[in-house]
Amino acid sequence: MDSTATSPAIDETHAPGRTSWVAGASNHGDFPVQNLPLGIFSPPGGTPRPGTAIGDHILDLAMLADLLPPDVGPALAQTTLNSLFALPRAARLALRRRLSSLLSDDRHRGAVEPALRRADACELHLPAAIGDYSDFYVGIHHATNVGTLFRPDNPLLPNYKHVPIGYHGRASSVRPSGVPVVRPNGQRKAPDAAEPAFGPSQRIDYELELGVWIGPGNALGTPIPIASAADHIAGFCLLNDWSARDFQAWEYQPLGPFLAKNFQTTISPWVVTAEALAPFRRAQPARPAGDPRPLPYLWDEADQQAGALDLELEVSLLTGKMRAAGAPPHRLSCGPASNMYWTVAQIVAHHASGGCNLSPGDLLGTGTISAPDREGFGSLLEITRGGSDPVTLPNGEIRRFVEDGDEVLLSARARRDGHVAIGFGACRAMLLPALHFGAAGQI
Amino acid sequence: MDSTATSPAIDETHAPGRTSWVAGASNHGDFPVQNLPLGIFSPPGGTPRPGTAIGDHILDLAMLADLLPPDVGPALAQTTLNSLFALPRAARLALRRRLSSLLSDDRHRGAVEPALRRADACELHLPAAIGDYSDFYVGIHHATNVGTLFRPDNPLLPNYKHVPIGYHGRASSVRPSGVPVVRPNGQRKAPDAAEPAFGPSQRIDYELELGVWIGPGNALGTPIPIASAADHIAGFCLLNDWSARDFQAWEYQPLGPFLAKNFQTTISPWVVTAEALAPFRRAQPARPAGDPRPLPYLWDEADQQAGALDLELEVSLLTGKMRAAGAPPHRLSCGPASNMYWTVAQIVAHHASGGCNLSPGDLLGTGTISAPDREGFGSLLEITRGGSDPVTLPNGEIRRFVEDGDEVLLSARARRDGHVAIGFGACRAMLLPALHFGAAGQI
């Protein structure tokens, strides 16, 4: 087995001494020259096209195609990254190396500078046309916390430590950072109510997740062995799996969450590539003593050695009152991404193990990543214990769940001594009031 | 409210006296001139294009574009029907009327005949690029039967009669009739086993469902009122929701079926339009006394008057031995589509009620449609009571679940006195043996 399949190599593109000639692309922001995330943007008055973030700028890759490896050229002429994701990892790596050189070597400045746009003047789009979106449940502390609320007698089900539990989500309602979320209407039934009622959700929550972008796919009927799972992973993003907890509790049995989760999912639009994260790979934490060893199709020693990421995840809240007062967002939680019971390679191998075909541009969510303690819980459901233990914000407001006008902000930062830290960019969205449904069920 | 929104009108295209000049397009097959289903086909050596089935032939709609309504022209130049589905119902109706006239009036024969292809020489494809596929659970007898097997104490959950239960399925693995299904590998755990095992499913089942093709979509955040749900429905197909029952039992809690259902879904490739089914609409059966009245967003009198279909559904099995002996398929079950607790308009309105956006070419499955009695059960799980009461076939073979080499065939026929019956065409697929996974989890 080629161990690089599991763990992309650290090379000169990660060198801490490498800096960019682009003004403002210092080593302190999310997008130093060590990152080079890929995305789809529109410049002012222009159409969507591939770009890479560098400091406060976006490099227009289509404009620069003549200077880039010829095998990525056709993919750069597209309005989504699906074609780029479909290329073998070697092609993405060659693109990264070339971009790193173009943006760090001052001799290229004259040729490259005309293709730079100020990021704040551009619009960011979804990076890919998402064929299918699947969501997992790898945050074992989250699974335990939520299980305790939904099934006090039976928080962690017997399959959890054997099966990387996942389900299919809604691809059509995934939106990039910045697109507001309308509070959904739906059915809910309080435990003590005789009948369900229809109306605006009263328990809107966020869920802090990592998103995984699928690169090259597999043919229907042909599994992906875990040792080559990394060849199928193009990159990562942040993902807020907005959830209506009241709808979820009423609808989820026996077929799982549906309307509780499909009204919108917010992602950070930059794809932080697997290659960019190479320096931040670390061993997957050992399973607690007594936990079962995963079945062979889910077990790969190299993946265990490098299948986790040194990544800090954070959630902040900005209420309407705070915004009006010019206050900064308030941090609700912070914790490491290593609180995943299953690695990304394990969820990819599991997903395809029965022959299900993944395609370039498919999106996987990890499920909510919570730390063991309240400071690192990845949802309000957990932080407020189902609303019974509210959060008091610095301005005295209290929150059980997300309220209209609140903005939820996720962020991620990969850090390790001796390496330049990189970030994921913004993943934020504001909750807007529900539409009014009339008594006759009309809008 | 415009009642035609719920119930497409019967017009001259349904006239029983209307016949086609196309040889073999008699009134006895699935595709008389009263049907005119839409699909995507490739003629020998040609590329995929839109067509309509007439008798044993397919009419190449792109070749005929000059004779068809100009507003459908651009949609007919595509390799999927998504653009056609996106058009308002009036455009599809105009196309139907024109096709009916071209194919029944002998004066058009000279102009139209060059665009006819023999169906048996053509390949049929998926009719649309499926953005999202959702599956429901409206067959109340199926829900009760399966509930009894999975949860003997609690077969029909408290939400069932209030919520049209649904979940997201896998769009990428939907395949048209004729594409074989590879038996999936996966995790299963017998109730008495200490640990789960990984290997080929030992309980492969079919599920008899109707598929619903979404026409014009709705914007994210904007529900579809039930009274206009019909405007968003382009047509229908048969759908076999292949299921690995052993995987399902082990994985489905708490997030629902995943690998148990995503290895393949087989559909009939012809889209039988809502307009073609107009003569076969009937009142939705009254809810049993004591059942709750649906919430207002799910209730529309016009839908109750015409929301069900006079449609006979049938499942047959052809084993390898039967095929070798030249025996015909054996009918396993037969029952009416009216055994749906929720109408199609109700599932569409529910799906969009929280703002989830449906798109042209999205596919909804109704869920398994079973009659109350064994002769009409829509899955082997129900027919054989979880494998404990096997079926004996005419040649003496017995079946608990589907075996390698078996072919499962679904069919549907809409019938009513005074009208020409129409069918859905083939929905069949053969089960192939599993791939071998080595001890190390490699293929």
pLDDT digits 0-9 by tens, B41-55 = 999 999 999 999 999
Q: What's the Cα-to-Cα distance from A17 to each of A20, B89, B400, rounded to whole Å? A: 10, 62, 66
Contact B251, B261 (CB under 8 A): no
Helix (H) or strand (E) holding A439: none
Distance from CA of B38 to the nearest CA of A (A): 23
- Residues comprising chain A, all counted: 443
Q: What secondary structure letter does DSSP report for B7?
A: S
Q: What's the Cα-to-Cα distance from A78 to each of A47, A89, B80, B118, rounded to whole Å? A: 10, 18, 20, 38
Task: Please report which confidence band the pLDDT of residue A443 belongs to, taking 50, 70 and 90 as the band edges.
Answer: low
Contact B46, B269 (CB under 8 A): no
- The reply to whether omega before A254 is within 30° of 0 (cis) is yes
Catalytic member of A14, A57, A141, A142:
A142
What the block records as the tokens of A167 is 């389900």
Yes or no, beta carbons of B198 and A296 under 8 Å apart: yes
**Which of A137, A359, A443 is facing B255, going by the closest CB pair?**
A137
pLDDT for res A191: 87
Compute the distance between CA of residue B356 and CA of residue A184 in angstroms, rounded to an integer.
9
- The reply to whether omega before B254 is within 30° of 0 (cis) is yes
Assess whether pLDDT exceeds 80 at residue B438. no
Q: What are phi and psi of B108, to 5 degrees?
A: -90, -5
Yes or no, beta carbons of A355 and B184 under 8 Å apart: yes
Assess whether pLDDT exceeds 50 at residue B3. no
Q: Average pLDDT over chain A, rounded to whole?
A: 95
Question: How many angstroms from the chain centroid is the CA of residue B77?
Answer: 25
pLDDT for res A23: 87
pLDDT tens profile A221-264? 999 999 999 999 999 999 999 999 999 999 999 999 999 999 99
Assess whether pLDDT exceeds 50 at residue A1. no
Assess whether pLDDT exceeds 50 at residue B4. no
Q: Which residues of A touch B166 (CB under 8 A)?
A: 255, 258
Contact B247, B401 (CB under 8 A): no
The mean-pLDDT minimum among A2-16, A192-206, B65-79, B245-259 falls in: A2-16
Task: Please report which confidence band the pLDDT of residue B7 belongs to, taking 50, 70 and 90 as the band edges.
Answer: low
Compute the distance between CA of residue B200 and CA of residue B185 in angstroms, rounded to an integer.
4
Compute the distance between CA of residue B400 and CA of residue B379 in angstroms, rounded to an integer.
11
Compute the distance between CA of residue A427 and CA of residue A267 in angstroms, rounded to an integer.
6
Place of tokens 């609320």: A149
**Which of B244, B247, B256 is facing A256, going by the closest CB pair?**
B256
Compute the distance between CA of residue A432 and CA of residue B4 in angstroms, rounded to an integer.
34
Helix/strand/coil for A140: helix
Residue type, A152: P
Assess whether pLDDT exceeds 60 at residue B410. yes
Yes or no, beta carbons of A172 and B244 under 8 Å apart: no
Q: What angle do CA B392, B393, B399 make, to 5 degrees?
A: 60
Contact A367, A239 (CB under 8 A): no
Complex ipTM value: 0.96
Compute the distance between CA of residue A129 and CA of residue A79 in angstroms, rounded to an integer.
9
Compute the distance between CA of residue B295 and CA of residue A172 in angstroms, rounded to an integer.
26
Compute the distance between CA of residue B365 and CA of residue B356 in angstroms, rounded to an integer.
17
Distance from CA of B183 to the nearest CA of A (A): 8
Q: Which residues of A touch B195 (CB under 8 A)?
A: 162, 292
pLDDT for res B441: 52
What the block records as the tokens of B364 is 């909804």
Q: Are strands B265-267 and B174-176 parallel, antiparallel or unpaired?
A: parallel
Question: How much of chain B, in percent, has pLDDT values that exceed 70?
Answer: 97
Helix (H) or strand (E) holding B425: none
Query: Which chain A residue has the Cα nearest residue B355?
Result: A263
End-to-end, the C-alpha distance of chain A in Å comes to 58
Q: What's the Cα-to-Cα distance from A431 to each of A205, A241, A248, A333, A334, rounded to whole Å? A: 10, 13, 18, 19, 22
Contact A352, A345 (CB under 8 A): no
pLDDT tens profile A338-389? 999 999 999 999 999 999 999 999 999 999 999 999 999 999 999 999 999 9
Question: How many angstroms from the chain centroid is the CA of residue A199?
Answer: 30
Yes or no, beta carbons of B253 and A157 under 8 Å apart: yes
Query: Which chain A residue has the Cα nearest residue B163?
Result: A251
Question: How many angstroms from the chain centroid is the CA of residue B129?
Answer: 15
Compute the distance between CA of residue A148 and CA of residue B26 in angstroms, rounded to an integer.
63
Helix (H) or strand (E) holding B238: strand B233-240
Yes or no, beta carbons of B441 and A187 under 8 Å apart: no
Yes or no, beta carbons of A185 and B296 under 8 Å apart: no
Query: Which parts of A123-229 fold into alpha helices (H)?
Result: 140-150
Compute the distance between CA of residue B408 and CA of residue B205 in angstroms, rounded to an integer.
10
Mean pLDDT of the region A304-324: 97
Compute the distance between CA of residue A328 and CA of residue B398 in angstroms, rounded to an integer.
70
What the block records as the tokens of B428 is 């069949």
Yes or no, beta carbons of B225 and A147 under 8 Å apart: no
Residue of A247, A251, A133 whose CA lies nearest to A183: A247
Mean pLDDT of the region A16-21: 95
Contact A345, A230 (CB under 8 A): yes
Q: What is the 3-state secondary structure (H, E, C) of B279-293?
A: HHEECCCCCCCCCCC
Query: Which chain A residue has the Cα nearest residue B361?
Result: A172
Q: What secondary structure letter does DSSP report for B175?
A: E
Mean pLDDT of the region A328-337: 97
Q: What secondary structure letter does DSSP report for B419?
A: S
Contact A245, A203 (CB under 8 A): yes
Mean pLDDT of the region B246-256: 95
Contact B309, B337 (CB under 8 A): yes
Compute the distance between CA of residue B438 and CA of residue A67 in angstroms, rounded to an integer.
45
Question: How much of chain B, in percent, has pLDDT values that exceed 90?
Answer: 92
Contact B303, B284 (CB under 8 A): yes
What the block records as the tokens of A95 is 């693109």
Assess whether pLDDT exceeds 90 at residue B149. no
**A142 annotated active-site:** yes
pLDDT tens profile B259-315? 999 999 999 999 999 999 999 999 999 999 999 999 999 999 999 999 999 999 999
What the block records as the tokens of A303 is 């993946």
Distance from CA of B426 to the nearest CA of A (A): 21
Distance from CA of A82 to the nearest CA of B (A): 15
Helix (H) or strand (E) holding A432: strand A427-432
**Which of A220, A252, A263 is facing B355, going by the closest CB pair?**
A263
Residue type, A203: R
Q: Are strands A57-60 and A49-54 parallel, antiparallel or unpaired?
A: antiparallel
Residue of B202, B305, B317, B313 whose CA lies nearest to B249: B202
Place of tokens 């404990």: B388
pLDDT for res A4: 45
Exposed, middle or buried: residue A289 (CB in 10 Å: 0-12, 13-18, 19+)?
exposed
Q: What domains, with CATH codes, occur in chain A?
A: 12-124 (2.30.30.230), 133-432 (3.90.850.10)
Mean pLDDT of the region A14-19: 95
